[in-house]
Amino acid sequence: MEQNYTLSNTLKEVREYTFQILDKYSNLNVYTNINLLYRIEKNIKTILLEVDYQNIDFDALFLANYIQVIEQVENKSKQLEFGQKSQYLDVVAEQLHAKFNFSKELIERAKNIAVESYPKHEAELVESKILSDAFVMDFACNQGRSRLKSLYEQMILNDYNLSKTNWYDILIPFLETHKTYTNYGQREVQPLIDKLITDLKKERKEIEKNKVLLVQKELKISDEEIKKLKKGLSKIKDRDDRGIQTLFRNTSKNHYKLNQMVDGKARIMITVNAIILSLVIGNVIGKFAEGFPNNIPAIIISIANIVSITFAIISITPNRTQGNFTEEEIRGKKGNLLYFGNFYNMHYRDFEWAFLQMLQDKDYLYSSMIKDFYYQGQVLHKKNRAIRVSLYAFLFGLAATIFAHLMITCF
């Protein structure tokens, strides 16, 4: 059927206004953006190709779409309830009514279409059925998974308290209860949504499986011990976190002090050895013109100085790091974002998303802090080992120099 309809001039103004709203909030909305509006409009037109739209109110249909999109980006509620009518939808409708001077009948019809298009409402108006199918069509394609990922990222950026498993627990029932109404939706969209639901359920099970396997691998404990551990953790979920925070704070402070001590020793060793080495090179210590035997002490102390300086420098040399993480590492809770060397190559938006992922998941946050302390300890051990070699090299070199000087003097 030919698409022989056009939007009214007022609706075109509303469309432009919607673009402005989407652009205004684009920094936080990686899914609900201008591209989404274009896609929904395209989906509506695709469905209309198989619908007898002689009596369809196009202005009300597209106005309902704009109302829903604006409501999604301007609503400040942090409660995620798919399918529930938002009270802010009425506010948006009234704002558009006042700004563009719509008739009361048009704004009420558009509002009813928007409400009926929610999954938990039975769509009776033909426009509601079209809009409902057009929305879910956005996920019924090859890019559906990536769009769901963008929607989840948008939730995190907007401070929704939503872990990965909770996201699946909300998303899967939402898609299962969603009903397609149009012939196109039932024929083309519903099979793809069913396949998407199956894939999401598999992913949900895989996440739980990986959690258990990870704990088993890390701690090397049996299934029975895993069950006991989970049971014990569930009992202390409501415990005050101040004790844990104090533990982390004190541990971090101790690591910092120990690290400062090692760096201080390294600076002292570099300074002392450099002074002695410069005196040797300047012939202040040892007279090279006096012949080889008399210069043995100077040679010994020079070698000891070089070895000592080398290991002192090694002890304060930063480790080389990759500077970024993949999305899979973040989702698998493998990335430690608490150390700058792990994220300096990441784009800010990727880092912000990853950090918000960590803040939304207490287990991930504590796990990252534990990893950070562990690797701090590993680095501190290497630094201590290097500075110990530096000190011993200086000590033995000094002792050997004194001994050699005494031997030359006495004999």
CA distance 64 to 8: 14
| Residue 216, pLDDT above cutoff 60 | no
| Residue 55, pLDDT above cutoff 80 | no
CA distance 219 to 9: 66
The pLDDT value recorded for residue 358 is 74
Angle (deg, nearest 10), helices 362-410 and 348-360:
110
Domain ranges (residues) in the chain: 9-216, 242-410
pTM: 0.52
- List pLDDT tens digits, range 282-294: 765 555 555 556 6
Confidence band of 307 (pLDDT split at 50, 70, 90): very high
Under 8 Å between Cβ of 104 and 94: no
Confidence band of 230 (pLDDT split at 50, 70, 90): low
CA distance 158 to 76: 9
The pLDDT value recorded for residue 319 is 67
Positive or negative: CA dihedral 219, 221, 226, 232: negative
Radius of gyration of the chain (CA): 34
- Average pLDDT (147-160) is 80
The pLDDT value recorded for residue 323 is 47
Confidence band of 389 (pLDDT split at 50, 70, 90): very high
The pLDDT value recorded for residue 251 is 79
**C-alpha distance from residue 286 to each of 98, 292, 293, 294, 347 (Å):** 95, 10, 11, 7, 57
